[in-house]
Every structure is written in structure tokens, then in C-alpha cells.
Amino acid sequence: NAGVMQNPRHLVRRRGQEARLRCSPMKGHSHVYWYRQLPEEGLKFMVYLQKENIIDESGMPKERFSAEFPKEGPSILRIQQVVRGDSAAYFCASSSGRETGQGGNEQFFGPGTRLTVL
Amino acid sequence: TQLLEQSPQFLSIQEGENLTVYCNSSSVFSSLQWYRQEPGEGPVLLVTVVTGGEVKKLKRLTFQFGDARKDSSLHITAAQTGDTGLYLCAVRPIQLGRGSTLGRLYFGRGTQLTVWP
């Protein structure tokens, strides 16, 4: 039973290039979350998606960043015209979306993609 | 401003020692979670606490949720080198009229624990 998968694990881009980060949620999970982690800031929420829908994108920069979770295939976080400040670890998490009364609906995290912008 | 304040930021101890790390806020939460993250990996959920005053034990780890549901602590007894990692607390703020457990998590900046042999 595979966990959340992310690829690539490491990505190097030059300024101005595009970065595409992929996330395959756990089997049976239809909710995906993207977070960014910087050493000085900790883990910050970016976007929450369900299949074919963006539920909450309030944590994602308005420009250059976009996310999708198509009916078929992995969720994609896309960063256009990358800048040095985009260098960070990007984590994807998935959940079943089943509500519980005990603070459940656990989010399972992938191993992350470490983006380095030269 | 940070919603969750974790302390200490760094902790370095010898194997066998006991330790406590803290997660504090001025806000009230419906639940609070503790995660551990190892280098090069994603966070792994350790526990969810829901009720004010609740205490949960996971082997040598003891988690407590404050009576007012604003803070939490994690106590490790007889630390081992395998306990080394970044300990993160996370919450979903209470949304008025909704008890949803879906949606974003807010994380503290974490306590980096190093246990030396």
C-alpha cells in the first residue's frame, strides 16, 4: 500500500525556467494539499485541491504559481519563471476527506521535492 | 505573527535524558497534532489531541493538551538517538459554525531535537 509519492525528489532550475512538481496521493485519497517549507519559516500551506477542483488557494502566490488535480493522474504544482526565492522543499499531503468527530482526517505527507533555483 | 509558538527552537541532549517541548498560542483550537520530521523526509503524524486536559501516551512519548485547548506539550522519557528530528505542532483553527476536519493545517516552526549517544 504505497504512501504519498512525489517526484522528482530534487529539481534544479535556472532563473526564469519552469518547475513542475508532481504528487500522487495515497490510494483512495481524493484530497491533496501542497505546503512549502523554508528553514526560517517552517511549513506553510499553499493550496488545497480535490479532484478537478481548487478548494482553497489562499496560501499560494497570485503570480507564477498554479496547481491542478485532474480527474486522472497526479496533482501538479507549477511554478513559472522561477526566482531564487522559490528555492525550498515542497511537500504534498493527501487525505481521505472523511470527516471524523475526533480531529481526524489525517493528512499523510510525501517525502517532498527539493527545488533549487540557480 | 506566528499562530503557534514552539519552544525551545533547538534542544541537544544525551541519550537517556528526559525532555519536554512546548507548543503555545493565544487562540483556542478544536484539536492539535504533533508531527516528527526527519531530514529529507516529510512530517509523520504522531498524535492528535482533542479534549482539553487530554493526555496521550505513545511508548516513551507523552502528549498533553492544555485545559483551555490553547497549548500542548510533548514529553520524552529516556531519549534515544532515534528520537532525533524536528518536532512540529499543527492545528486547524476553529471555524464558527463548522466542525470541519478538512482543510489546511497551520504549523509551528518546530523544535529541532538532537539526541547524542
Q: What is the pLDDT of residues B33-58, one digit of tens each?
A: 999 999 889 999 999 998 889 999 99
Which of B111, B32, B113 has the alpha carbon at shortest distance from B67?
Answer: B32
Which band of pLDDT confidence, cut at 50, 70 and 90, is reported for residue B1? Answer: low
CA distances from residue B59 to B52, B78, B115 in whole angstroms, order as listed: 21, 11, 17
> Residue B93: pLDDT above 70?
no
Residues from chain B that touch A43, judged by Cβ atoms under 8 A, are: 43, 88, 90, 105, 107
pLDDT at residue B50 in the model:
87
As a whole number, the mean pLDDT across chain B is: 89
Gap between the terminal Cα atoms of chain A: 37
Helix, strand, or coil (residue A84)? helix
Which band of pLDDT confidence, cut at 50, 70 and 90, is reported for residue B30? Answer: confident
Q: Which amino acid is at A74?
A: P
Flag if B108 and A42 touch (Cβ within 8 Å): yes
Cell numbers found for residue B111? 523544535
Asked whether B30 and B88 are in contact (CB, 8 A), the reply is no
DSSP state letter for A25: P
Distance from CA of A58 to the nearest CA of B (A): 10
How many C-beta atoms surround the C-beta of residue B46 within 10 A? Answer: 17
Q: What is the pLDDT of residues A49-78, one digit of tens each?
A: 998 899 999 899 999 999 999 999 999 999
CA contacts within 13 A on the Cβ side of A28:
8
Which band of pLDDT confidence, cut at 50, 70 and 90, is reported for residue A45? Answer: very high
> Residue A103: pLDDT above 60?
no
- Rg (C-alpha) for chain A, rounded Å, is 14
Cell numbers found for residue B21? 517541548
Distance from CA of B38 to the nearest CA of A (A): 10
pLDDT at residue A39 in the model:
76
Beta bridge partners of B4: none
Q: What is the pLDDT of residues B65-91, one digit of tens each?
A: 999 888 999 999 999 999 999 999 999
Cell numbers found for residue B61? 512519548
> Residue B94: pLDDT above 70?
no
pLDDT at residue A104 in the model:
56
Contact residues, B window 67-86, toward A, CB-based 8 Å cutoff: none
Give the whole-number percent of chain A exceeding pLDDT 90.
Answer: 76
